[in-house]
Amino acid sequence: MKKLLTLAALTTAAALAGAQQAPEAAAKPAGGPVKGATYVVDPTHTFVNYEMGHYGTTTNRGRFSTKDGSIKIDPSGSTGKVDITMDISSINTGVDLLNRHLMSKDFFNVAEFPIARFVAGQIDFSGDKVTQVNGTLTLMGQTRPVLLKANRFNCYLSPLINRQICGGDFETTVERSQWGISWGLAFGFEDKVRLLVQVEAVNIQ
């Protein structure tokens, strides 16, 4: 645990440094995920964005931050495991009144269910690229299957922390009513929600 906390502090410091000045060396390709390796999720580069139809006109959008997580690659390099925790109280739509409504019992009931968790026991690869992750999402006390498909994936050697980082953009569409979130379904708020997930994780071995 101490090692994970130290690495989290390191990646946060590196992100701040990178925002202030360009690294002296560019990031280098680093092949695919290392067989048997454990990766810790970088919360400064890992977020869950959602899109939901609104009265058949505009799209309602928001974002959740992640608290922590890990990804373990199987020794064969052909699959792996994922465990990521999301901070539901971090929801941000850009509108404070809407944020408060979404945190209420009408939607996420953050007082009772402050976190969500995605757990997967299967990672599919094509060569050294992740193509999809098959797992479950626990939200509002309900656990349902979710399949995340990769839109992009890559690994690189970070010039800021001199470690391999792997990550990508993933996507799925779910029906929020499966988790008991039904407010507004009868008057304009769609059931289908598009989830856009960006993930970066650092090799700690």
Q: pLDDT tens across 166-184, in order? A: 999 999 999 999 999 999 9
Counting runs of H as helices and runs of E as strands, what totals does the chain give? 2, 10
Position 101: which residue type?
Answer: H
- 47 and 168 in contact (C-beta within 8 Å)? no
The predicted-structure confidence for 97-108, as pLDDT tens digits, reads as follows 999 999 999 999
* pTM over cut 0.85: yes
Instruction: Give the integer Cα–Cα distance in Å for 156 and 172.
Output: 25
- 138 and 119 in contact (C-beta within 8 Å)? yes
- In percent, the amount of the chain with pLDDT more than 90 equals 83
- 43 and 65 in contact (C-beta within 8 Å)? yes
- 46 and 78 in contact (C-beta within 8 Å)? no
Q: Is the pLDDT of residue 9 over 90?
A: no
